[in-house]
Amino acid sequence: MPDAQQAISRLGNLSYVSPSVESPWGTYLAQVDRVVPYLGELARWAETLRRPKRALIVDVPIALDNGEIAHFEGYRVQHSLSRGPGKGGVRYHPSVTMEEVMALAAWMTVKNAAVNLPFGGAKGGIRLDPKALSSRELERVTRRYTSEIGFIIGPQQDIPAPDVNTNAQIMAWMMDTYSKNVGVTTTGVVTGKPVSLGGSLGRVKATGRGVFVTGRDAMHRLKIPMPGARIAIQGFGNVGANAAELFSMAGAKIVAVQDHGGSLFNARGLNVRALAAHVLQHGSVAGFPEADELGQEEFWTVEAEVVIPAALEGQINEVRAKLLNAQLVLEAANGPTTPAADDILAARNIAVLPDVICNAGGVIVSYFEWVQDFSSFFWSEDEINLRLDKIITGALDHIWATSTRQRVSLRTGAFVVACERILEARNQRGLYP
C-alpha cells in the first residue's frame, strides 16, 4: 500500500505512482476505470475524476492537560467543486492518512452527484485516537484544526460534517471557532450540529435510515421478504445501530453483529435496543449476554439474506467475498468492498447496493440542514424523513434503471449517473484561464 507521500505525488504528473488496488484510493481509481467506457464524449474529462482539486496537510499542535505539547497531522481534501461547494465529514482515527481522505473525498463527489445534490466532494481527518484524549484536549485539537483549514472552508466553499469518531459536539466547536475567526455567527459552515445551534432534526439517524430505505427497496426488487429476513451487520456505531433498529422494527432478524471488540450471533435475532444499551455502557458488543461469540472471520460465514458492512473501508476483500452466505450486501460504510471482491460477488450472484447511494441519507439531511440554516426556517422531523425518502428512492430508481439498461453492476450504474453529472458540469464550466 502506498504511503501518503506517494498518494500526494499522484497530484502532480501523469505518470502516477500506482497505488495498491486494495487501498482506498486504489479502489476508487479502479471504480473510475470501470465507468469510463460508458461516459461517451464526456470521457475526455475523466482525468479530472482521478485528481483532487485541492489537498491540504496541516500540523495541529495543542497543549495537553499535563502541559506537554503534542502534534497531530490533519487533512482536508476537496476532490471536486464543479457542482457546488465541497461537502464531506471529518474523522478522528489513528489510521487516517492523506490517501484515505483523498478516496473518501472522491466518493463524496460521486455520492452527492448520484443523489443530485448541489455539492462537490470533500473530506477531512486528523490522525489521532480520540479515546486517548480528554474532552478539553479534543476541544483544543478541534479548534486548532478548524483554524488551520479555515481559509478553505465556509458555507459556500466547503462544509464539514461528522464522520468516524466525531459528533455534534465536535461540529459545535468547529462552527464556533470558524464564527469567531470570521467575526460573525456562521451556522452553515458545518452540518450535523446540535439542534440548538441550527442543526436539523433527523440528522443523527439519517444515514442509518437511508441504509434501511434503500435496503428495503433493493430487497423488494430482489424478492427477499422483509419479515424474518436474517441480517448480519459489521459495525454497531451510529449508522449500524440505527439501521439495525429500523430493520428489526420492520420484521427482519439481526442475527450477527461485529465491532472492534468482538462478534456476536443469535439465530433467533438479537434484541437491538438491549444491545445498543450494552454498547453505550461497555463501549463494544463484546460480552453481551444474550448471544454467542463468533471469531472475527467466522462472522463473514454466517447464513444471512443481507450483510451490512457499516464500519471502515476495505472490509470485504477477495477472501471474505468467497465466504459470504448472503443474497445482498448493503454498503453502509464508505468503500467497504474491494474491486476484486466486487467481481467475486457478481460471479456468485450476490447483489451489492453501493455506498454512494446506500449510505447517502446522511449527506441528504446535511443538505437539508444547510438549506435550513440559510433560510432560518426549520422543518419537522416528519418532513425531513419524507423528503429524505423521496430523494433517495428516486435516486435509486434512476441508478437501477441505468444499471439494467447498460447491463452493468449497480455500482457502475451509480458511477455512470454520477460521473455524467460531474463531468457535464466540468465541461460546461470550461477551463479558466
Does residue 225 sit in the same domain as residue 332?
A: yes
Q: Are residues 159 and 217 in the same domain?
A: no
C-alpha cell at 185: 455567527
pLDDT of residue 161: 96
* pLDDT, position 433: 86
Is residue 192 one of the residues assigned to a domain?
Answer: no
Active site residues: 123
Kindly report, residue by residue over 128-140, the tens digit of the pLDDT: 999 999 999 999 9
Residue 285 lies in a domain: yes
Domain hosting 63: range is 53-185
Query: Model's pTM, two decimal places?
Result: 0.91
Give the closest residue to 89 by CA, choosing from 166, 7, 185, 172. Answer: 166
User: In the prediction, which pLDDT does 14 show?
Assistant: 32
pLDDT value, residue 20: 55
pLDDT tens digits, one per residue of 349-376: 999 999 999 999 999 999 999 999 999 9
Residue 21: the pLDDT is 54
- Dig out the grid coordinates for 37 from the structure: 467506457
Q: Looking at 292, 323, 358, which one is the last position of a domain?
A: 358
> Does one domain contain both 343 and 213?
yes
Q: Tell me which residue has cell 506537554.
A: 68
| Within-domain flag for 420 | no
Helices (H) and strands (E) in the chain, counts: 14, 12
Same domain, 122 and 154: yes
pLDDT value of position 312: 85
Report DSSP letters for 162-194, one per residue: E-TT--HHHHHHHHHHHHHHHTS--GGG-SS--
- Judge if 250 and 313 occupy the same domain: yes
Whether 225 and 349 share a structural domain: yes
* pLDDT score for 340: 93
Task: Tell me the average confidence (pLDDT) per consecutive run of 10 residues in the chain, 433 residues long.
Answer: 39 40 86 96 96 97 97 98 97 96 97 98 97 97 98 98 95 98 97 96 94 98 97 94 96 95 94 94 91 92 96 92 96 94 96 96 97 95 97 97 96 97 97 90
- Beta-carbon count within 10 A of 94 CB: 12
Domain boundary at 305, 339, 358, which?
Answer: 358
What is the CATH classification number for the domain harbouring 119?
3.40.50.10860
Write out the three cell numbers for 426.
466540468
